[in-house]
Structure 1
Amino acid sequence: MSQFAKILAKKSLHILVLFLLIPFGMLEAWHGKQAGILFLVGVLIVFLVLEYFRLELDWKVPLFQQLMSQRERENIYSVVYFLAGAIICVAAFDTSIAVASLLMTILGELTASIVGLKYGTTLFIKNKTVVGTTSELVVNLLIGFVVLSSVYQFYVIIAMAFVATFIEVIIDELDEHLLGPIFSGFVGQLLILL
Structure 2
Amino acid sequence: MPSREVIFEVLRKSVHLISILIVLIYELFGKETILWVLMLFLITVLLLDYLRLEHGMRIPFFYIMYREHEADRLGGHIYFALGAISAIALFNKEIAYAAILMTTFGDLAAALIGKFHGKRRIFKKIFKNDKSIEGSTSEFIIDFFIGLLITGNPAVSLIMSFFATLAETAVNKIDDNLVVPIFSGFFGQITLILLALMGNS
| TM-score computed with the length of structure 2 as normaliser | 0.87
Cα distance in 1 for partners of 2:102, 2:42 equals 21
Structure 1 unaligned segments of length 5 or more: list them.
none
- Number of equivalent positions: 187
Choose the corresponding residue for 1:127, options 125, 130, 136. 130
Number of the residue aligned with 1:144:
147
1:193 to 1:90, Cα distance in 2 relative to 1, 3 A: same
Number of the residue aligned with 1:188:
188
1:109 to 1:36, Cα distance in 2 relative to 1, 3 A: closer
8 Å Cα contact 1:93/1:186 also seen in 2: yes
Q: Which amino acid aligns with 2:158?
A: I
1:20 to 1:155, Cα distance in 2 relative to 1, 3 A: closer
Number of the residue aligned with 2:100:
102
Q: Which amino acid aligns with 1:21?
A: V
Number of the residue aligned with 2:9:
7
Which deviates the most, 43-52 or 181-190?
A: 43-52
- CA shift for structure 1 position 17: 4.3
Alpha-carbon RMSD across the aligned residues, in angstroms, is 1.5
Q: Does 1:23 align with 2:25?
A: yes
1:112 to 1:3, Cα distance in 2 relative to 1, 3 A: same
- CA shift for structure 1 position 20: 3.1
- CA shift for structure 1 position 166: 0.3
Q: Which amino acid aligns with 2:42?
A: L
- CA shift for structure 1 position 13: 1.7
Q: Which amino acid aligns with 1:144?
A: G
Number of the residue aligned with 1:71:
69
8 Å Cα contact 1:89/1:98 also seen in 2: yes
8 Å Cα contact 2:160/2:184 also seen in 1: yes
Cα distance in 2 for partners of 1:123, 1:162 equals 18
Q: Which aligned pairs between 1:158-169 and structure 2 lie closer than 5 A?
A: 158-169=158-169
1:17 to 1:52, Cα distance in 2 relative to 1, 3 A: farther
Cα distance in 2 for partners of 1:3, 1:39 equals 31
1:17 to 1:145, Cα distance in 2 relative to 1, 3 A: closer
Which deviates the most, 80-89 or 55-64?
A: 55-64
Cα distance in 1 for partners of 2:16, 2:4 equals 19
Number of the residue aligned with 1:82:
80
For residues 104-138 of structure 1, the C-alpha deviation after alignment (integer angstroms, 9 at most, x for no partner) is: 11111111111111111111132011111111111
- CA shift for structure 1 position 34: 2.5
Structure 2 unaligned segments of length 5 or more: list them.
195-201
Number of the residue aligned with 2:59:
61
Cα distance in 2 for partners of 1:17, 1:79 equals 11
Cα distance in 2 for partners of 1:25, 1:99 equals 10
8 Å Cα contact 1:97/1:148 also seen in 2: yes
For residues 51-108 of structure 1, the C-alpha deviation after alignment (integer angstroms, 9 at most, x for no partner) is: 1111111111242222211111211110110011101111111111111111111111
Structure 1 stretches of 4+ moved >3 Å: none
Number of the residue aligned with 2:41:
43
| TM-score computed with the length of structure 1 as normaliser | 0.90
